[in-house]
Amino acid sequence: MTAVQLSAADGFVIAMLAMMVVSLGVVGVLLLCMRRNAARRNREVEELLEEIAEDERREKRPAASPTPAEKPQAEPWERDGDWWKK
């Protein structure tokens, strides 16, 4: 049998190939975990997201505009819009 001699460059190439295989394996495991977790989403979270989306849609609909006599109630801490004119 003949002895196989490896140079420093050969060792570097083998090490880099090993690192690439390990890196791809890590990325594959991460993708697999993400896929598993996405498949096991909690139903309560889905319902909450649907409720929030419905609230946003309701807010975007044009509501009946208030009559001039009917001013929207301001919070107790808010000033009038023309406070600076006084």
> Rounded to whole angstroms, how far apart are CA atoms 10 and 6?
6
**Domain coverage including residue 27:** 13-58
68 occurs within a structural domain: no
81 occurs within a structural domain: no
Tens digits of residue pLDDT in 63-86: 655 556 666 777 778 777 777 776
Tens digits of residue pLDDT in 11-51: 999 999 999 999 999 999 999 999 988 777 778 888 899 99
Residue located via tokens 């979270």:
45
Give me the number of domains the chain comprises.
Answer: 1
30 occurs within a structural domain: yes
17 occurs within a structural domain: yes
70 occurs within a structural domain: no
| The two three-digit tokens of residue 38, written as one number | 């996405």
Tens digits of residue pLDDT in 1-13: 566 787 889 999 9
CA distances to 1, 7, 21, 27 from 10, rounded to whole Å, are: 21, 5, 17, 26
83 occurs within a structural domain: no
What pLDDT, on a 0 to 100 scale, did the predictor assign at position 44?
84
